[in-house]
């Protein structure tokens, strides 16, 4: 297995960074914060035209024909830029929900487990994963849950009307509590004519035989791409910390010359690079256990690096004008998406074999709580 990037992959990553630098610079980031993180439809279409959402669709279906390793590289850049919006869900819906591949549709996801739904008010469709459909009547004879797909049309509009907005930790990610969508998903699973379903053919093959916490291909890929965003954020906060340590002077010397600051920067790098290796390996194998490990490491790197970056920036790091807090808040939020630290630890523990007692956590505390 060769984990070194090819020339084409480097060019792909560089092109994405250049694109985001042109269409989503710091001014655009701050504008997104001011409007509460609502999706910029023009930017969404530009991302679609650049192939972000259709990256893994076959060329004959209008896609780019690449794989998970390339998708991870692009989502790493999206995380580095703090690009807002339900990027992962829209990418997963490409080819299944009309307009998702082209960036004409905004698609969010209902992950189940009581998780809040991001960007629900502006979504054109909501992915409904199999983990949400717990009714035995929703199971087909093959064990694949029927109705796993996208909630659209009148069913979605009715569910959105019943959903309640929740104050979000991240100013770039509006959240809703939407228990009503789970009820709509049940009706969808039973084949009710009141609901519209667009099948997720690409995900359905991996849905059977999954655990409740980690039900199949849809959630595996969602967790992996979210981990890529976390890695991009961890990389960016490391760069921000080092840059500030080089230029900020105290007692007549750059603060980066002080041992305590050096250790913080070194720790940030020491968290980022193992997470990168785990993520790239998981993208190649698509193994559930490796994806769980990658998500766990990436969550920890993103949260702790943002906290250390804030520490290195000192009092300025706490201000609204600095961007450090945006990385920290987004990292906390992403850590609760698709696969939490506790769920990752359970998957890794189960892979170790039977145990006679509780398995201690892989690291103290949850990445979501810092």
Per residue in 139-178, pLDDT (tens digit) is 233 222 234 477 888 778 877 787 788 899 899 999 988 7
- Decide: 338 and 216 in contact? Cβ < 8 Å: no
Among 49, 93, 328, residue whose Cα is nearest residue 201: 93
pLDDT confidence band for 210 (50 / 70 / 90): very low
Asked whether the predicted pLDDT for residue 207 surpasses 50, the reply is no
Question: Helices 324-334 and 217-247 meet at what angle, rounded to 10?
Answer: 160
- List, in sequence order, the alpha helices (H) in the chain: 7-23, 26-34, 41-49, 68-80, 87-93, 153-162, 179-189, 201-204, 217-247, 259-285, 288-313, 324-334, 341-352
Find the largest Cα–Cα distance for the chain: 73
SS3 170: coil
Q: How far apart are CA 100 and CA 104, in angstroms?
A: 6
Q: How far apart are CA 220 and CA 338, in angstroms?
A: 8
Looking at residue 242, its pLDDT comes to 93
Tens-place pLDDT, residues 169-180: 899 999 988 776
Looking at residue 205, its pLDDT comes to 33
pLDDT confidence band for 249 (50 / 70 / 90): low
Give the residue-averaged pLDDT of 55-83.
Answer: 92
Give the residue-averaged pLDDT of 55-64.
Answer: 88
Tens-place pLDDT, residues 296-319: 999 999 999 999 999 998 878 778
- Decide: 51 and 73 in contact? Cβ < 8 Å: no
Asked whether the predicted pLDDT for residue 198 surpasses 50, the reply is no
Q: How far apart are CA 48 and CA 42, in angstroms?
A: 10
- Decide: 82 and 21 in contact? Cβ < 8 Å: no
Asked whether the predicted pLDDT for residue 252 surpasses 70, the reply is yes
**71 phi, psi to nearest 5 deg:** -60, -40
Give the residue-averaged pLDDT of 35-62.
Answer: 91
**359 phi, psi to nearest 5 deg:** -95, 125
Q: pLDDT over 70 for what percent of the chain?
A: 79
Strand order in the sheet with 149-152: 107-110, 125-128, 149-152, 196-199
Asked whether the predicted pLDDT for residue 200 surpasses 60, the reply is no
Task: Give the residue with greater pLDDT, 60 vs 189.
Answer: 60
Find residue 108's DSSP bridge partners: 126
**105 phi, psi to nearest 5 deg:** -115, 140
Looking at residue 149, its pLDDT comes to 74
């Amino acid at each position: 297995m060769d984990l070194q990037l090819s020339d084409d992959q480097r060019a792909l990553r560089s092109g994405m960074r250049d694109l985001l630098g042109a269409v989503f610079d710091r001014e655009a980031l701050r504008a997104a914060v001011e409007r509460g993180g609502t999706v910029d439809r023009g930017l969404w279409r530009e991302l679609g035209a650049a192939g972000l959402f259709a990256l893994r669709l076959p060329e004959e279906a209008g896609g780019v024909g690449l794989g998970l390793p390339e998708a991870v590289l692009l989502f790493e850049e999206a995380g580095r830029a703090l690009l807002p919006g339900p990027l992962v869900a829209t990418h997963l819906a490409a080819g299944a929900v009309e307009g998702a591949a082209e960036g004409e549709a905004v698609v969010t996801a209902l992950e189940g487990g009581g998780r809040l739904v991001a960007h629900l008010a502006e979504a054109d469709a909501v992915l409904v994963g199999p983990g949400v459909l717990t009714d035995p009547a929703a199971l087909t004879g093959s064990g694949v849950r029927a109705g796993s797909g996208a909630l659209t049309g009148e069913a979605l509009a009715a569910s959105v009307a019943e959903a309640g907005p929740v104050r979000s930790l991240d100013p770039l990610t509006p959240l809703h509590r939407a228990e009503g969508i789970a009820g709509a998903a049940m009706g969808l699973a039973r084949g009710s004519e009141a609901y519209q379903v667009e099948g997720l053919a690409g995900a359905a093959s991996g849905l059977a035989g999954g655990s409740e916490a980690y039900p199949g291909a849809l959630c595996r890929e969602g967790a992996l791409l979210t981990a890529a965003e976390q890695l991009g954020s961890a990389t960016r906060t490391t760069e921000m910390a080092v840059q500030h340590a080089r230029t900020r002077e105290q007692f007549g010397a750059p603060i980066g010359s002080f041992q305590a600051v050096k250790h913080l920067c070194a720790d940030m790098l020491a968290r980022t690079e193992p997470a990168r290796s785990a993520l790239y390996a998981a993208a190649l194998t698509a193994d559930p256990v490796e994806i769980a490990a990658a998500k766990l490491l990436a969550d920890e790197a993103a949260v702790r690096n943002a906290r250390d970056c804030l520490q290195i920036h000192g009092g300025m790091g706490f201000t609204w004008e600095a961007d450090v807090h945006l990385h920290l808040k987004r990292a906390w939020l992403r850590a609760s998406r698709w696969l939490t630290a506790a769920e990752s630890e359970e998957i890794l523990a189960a892979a170790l074999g039977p145990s006679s007692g509780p398995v201690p956590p892989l690291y103290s505390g949850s990445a979501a709580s810092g």
